[in-house]
Amino acid sequence: MALWFPHLPTDRLQRPNKALAARDAPPLVVVAKVDNALRLSALDRKAASLGLVIGQPLANARAMLPALKVVAANAPADLNLLTNIADWCDRFTPFVALDGADGLLLDVTGAAHLFGGEQVMLKKIRGNLQAQGFAVRCAMAGTAMAARAFARYRDGAVIALGAEAGEIAPLPIEALNLDPITTHAFRRAGLKTVGQAASRKRQEITARFGAATIATLESALGHAGKPISPRTPAPDYWKEQGFAEPIAMEEAIRATLKSLATALFEVLEQRGEGARRLEAAFFRADGAVRRIAIEMGAPTRDPAIIERLFREKLDTLIDPLDPGFGFDLIRLSASRVERAGAEVADLHAGVLAKKEISFLVDRLAARFGSHRILLFQPNDTHIPEAAWSAVPAQYSKPAKLPWKKIRNARDAPRRPLRLFTRPEPVSFLPGSQLLRWRRVQHAVAKSEGPERIAMEWWRHQAVPPTRDYFRMEDGEGRRYWLYRSGMTPREDVIPQWFLHGVFA
């Protein structure tokens, strides 16, 4: 199915502004600069009926209609509106693709019977879009190119599969959507309709216009076609619930999510899979669509867990889920799934505790974001600040390296509890036993060291200096981890001291 919005830019301006859409309002045009001249890029219905055409210079249009409302083009706003319409079309099929700046392509293969047939589905989509204030033309055919041509030149056509060649033959050559130079060349050659172009030998057209033109022609005739490229990848599994009367109560919305999760659980269980990412789409009666996604650290298919995670997500939304006039469709889709084998509870393996921790991580991630719930994993290096890395806990994999044990059971800690991101410079003179840090002076009572750590020369073009680390304790029991940098045999060079962390 192809949808074409011939007045999309002006519809965007007139829908929220009733004054621009009033009967006594002047014609509305949108202009853009082309070749250093302002030309009409979009017209409303009134301007089109009065003889203005797209591409016409603005000066000529003003000469024809002095009382003309002119607005500058805003391509990003038009694209955003078209994207919102595509989101609304997801209620009919998840395979929705953008077709230029003013059209959409929907792959409704196998879905038309769910809405009462192709004609009923076409009328429903067109009627709903027109009720929202859009001028829309639509058609259905066996290929995307054929549907696109019929939407622009035979509004409302539903072409049976295999009948495209006969039905598209009378349409003008412009229906193929070729570039202007190729279209003009076809007309100069006397091939003014698609049927006339199709009657010529393919070798002649290929030699004159190239293989791409043949591919476009064959697709328009229904002899060949390629699938559309949806805006977003289709989910692996999904369940949806439509409502004859839109719902707005929070309890009804949560109950619907739980029932959809139960239905989705049955499908996943049959295939031995679990969901790692779930998305709930809420389709409002006024056309707005809201999407909320949750992610899990392990494959999950338990409806109670899914319902709890969505509850956590809904409770923490900065922009609350506004039902407006109610939701007439709610869809739950699993966009990422993995194999999930049955787990056997082992009292010594701590399977239950592991699942509880994983569920806690998922709840915190749903509330605060997965990028804020981190897990520390060891790195294969002896450099203190690089000995570990923080990764999102939901996406972490088992570490290949174990944590190295660097002290015995009764020994004092060899590494500080708090390691600074950047070592802080301090003033310390070994003879005076005075440590000055952050403008506060501390008397060192005990010290231990040095522990020499050399930098990894193979990782740096200019090797950093070697560090000598010391553990120090002041008179009040506070313990510090310092290092002396820039070791040199010269006595006139004072080494630099840095505080890298504190033990308590």
118 vs 401, which has greater pLDDT?
A: 118
The neighbouring-strand residues paired with 386 are none
Whether the predicted pLDDT of 86 surpasses 90: yes
What does the pLDDT look like over 175-193, one tens digit per residue? Answer: 999 998 999 999 998 999 9
pLDDT value for 280: 92
Whether residue 274 contacts residue 337, with contact meaning beta carbons closer than 8 Å, is answered with yes
Is the pLDDT at 104 greater than 60? The verdict is yes
Smallest CA-to-CA distance from 7 within 40, 38, 35, 39 is with: 40
**Long-range contacts at 51-60 (CB < 8 A, ≥ 24 apart):** 52/27, 58/29, 58/31
Q: Per residue in 349-395, pLDDT tens?
A: 556 777 888 888 988 988 888 888 998 888 888 888 888 888 888 88
Helix (H) or strand (E) holding 361: helix 351-368
Identify the sign of the CA torsion 164, 169, 170, 174.
Answer: positive
Specify which residues 483 forms β-bridges with: 469, 498
Q: Indicate the pLDDT class of residue 344, thresholds 50, 70 and 90.
A: very low
Structure tokens at 178: 């070729």
Percent of all residues in the chain with a pLDDT value above 70, rounded to a whole number: 96
299-322 pLDDT tens trace: 888 888 888 898 888 887 766 778
Average pLDDT over residues 282-305: 88
- How far apart CA 52 and CA 54 sit, in angstroms, is 7
Element containing residue 315 per DSSP (H, E): helix 303-315
H/E element, 375: strand 374-378
- Its pTM stands at 0.75
What residue spans in the chain does CATH classification 3.30.1490.100 cover? 237-365
Residue 345 pLDDT level (bands cut at 50, 70, 90)? very low
- The CATH architecture of the domain made up of 237-365 is 2-Layer Sandwich (3.30)
Sign of CA dihedral 144, 146, 149, 150: negative
**Contact in structure between 415 and 501 (CB atoms under 8 Å):** yes
pLDDT at 111 over 50: yes
Half-sphere exposure of 351 (CA within 13 A, CB side): 6
Q: What confidence tens digit (pLDDT) does each residue in 224-263 have?
A: 878 888 888 888 899 999 898 888 888 898 899 999 999 9
Gap between the Cα atoms of 485 and 463, Å rounded: 13
All residues at 6 or more sequence positions from 301 whose CB lies less than 8 Å from its CB, including other chains: 264, 265, 268, 269, 273, 274, 275, 340
Report phi then psi at 464, rounded to 5: -65, 155
Rounded CA-CA distance 467/125 in Å is 71
